[in-house]
Amino acid sequence: MPDSMSEMLRQDMQCEGLLECFHNLKEIDKDVFRLLNEASEPLTVDEIADEIDRERSTAYRSVKRLMQAGFIQKEQVNYDQGGYYHVYLPRDADEIAQEMQRMLNDWYAQMGQLIGEFSEKYGDTSSQPPTVES
């Protein structure tokens, strides 16, 4: 991820870059998210691990990060004889986009306030005489 906003604005970002930018997700998280979006049905962690050719624990950590970020959801599937397992599927893309837009609007408002504070603190000081220390 770029170190500054100016670097971020100069880079050629793809839409999956939003996952990294908004939620500090990793490349593997983007791969898992893409996989779940392309899958015809929800997948288990074991199926995800097989598809991305990683250990189950690595796939689970990625799934957990994506769930915490609100990009995927978990569903429970019950066995007829008792017991259950979980499958994972992507959340609605429009809902995710609306949440990211709200987050961006909040960030924009905060940055605007900070810029205003910066201007008040360091702005036009030419009308004030310089202070001389003895």
Q: What is the mean pLDDT of residues 55-62?
A: 97
71 CA to centre of own chain = 8
Per-residue confidence at 1, pLDDT binned at 50, 70, 90?
very low
Query: What is the β-pairing status of strands 72-78 and 84-90?
Result: antiparallel
Q: What is the mean pLDDT of residues 84-108?
A: 89
Q: pTM to 2 decimals?
A: 0.67
What are the φ and ψ backbone dihedral angles of 44, each rounded to 5 degrees? Answer: -85, 165
Per-residue confidence at 9, pLDDT binned at 50, 70, 90?
low
Return the higher-pLDDT residue of 23 and 127. 23
Query: For residues 47 and 39, what is the distance between their CA atoms, to the nearest angstrom?
Result: 11
Average pLDDT, the chain: 84
For 28-44, the pLDDT digits (tens) are: 999 999 999 999 999 99
Outline where DSSP puts E strands in the chain: 72-78, 84-90
